[in-house]
Amino acid sequence: MEDAKIITALLGDHVPAGTASFGALRSHIEAGSLRPLTVFLDEKLSQVPDVPSIAELGYDMPYVSSMGLYGPRGLPDSVVKRLEDAIKKVTEDSSFKEKAKQLGVQVAYRDSAGFGHFINKNKATWKSSLKRWGI
């Protein structure tokens, strides 16, 4: 469910709990209209240091949120390199880092090969977890 829909459902008491991005929830958390129960991370989120991570609660959740830029298969290496360089430059910019922190976004730049490895590792982790859970 997209963030706006789940937040509306939570605020209207239509659902008892839900997940959404921290950036979308932040103003509601600060206003006291929503209470965070956990963050789906291995470690606490610095913006809500009193909220335990899912790992701290003892749950082995392989969920890792990621955002990436995708292009068509066969994209020329020169274009890939230009995009990687531009994205890396942005992610290293101090104003970008500050805005990401405000939104509760943890930035971890990976080049295309590194991101591909990350995605494949997550797929393998999920496959293993689903099998272990009998799903």
How many Å apart are CA 37 and CA 17, to the nearest integer? 9
Number of domains in the chain: 2
Residue 108 lies in a domain: yes
Distance CA 34, CA 25 (A): 8
Structure confidence by residue, pLDDT tens digits, 20-59: 888 889 999 999 999 999 988 778 888 899 999 888 888 7
The pTM of this model reads 0.64
Decide if 93 is inside a domain.
yes
Which structural domain range is residue 12 located in? 1-61
Structural domain contains residue 118:
yes
Rounded Cα gap, residues 125 and 122, in angstroms? 5
| The pair of three-digit structure tokens given for residue 72, joined into one six-digit string | 């068509």
Buried b / exposed e over 75-105, threshold 16 CB at 10 Å, is eeeeeeeeebeebeeeeeeeeeeeeeeeebb
pLDDT digits (tens, 9 = 90+) for 72-128: 999 999 999 999 999 999 999 999 999 988 877 878 899 999 998 988 888 888 888
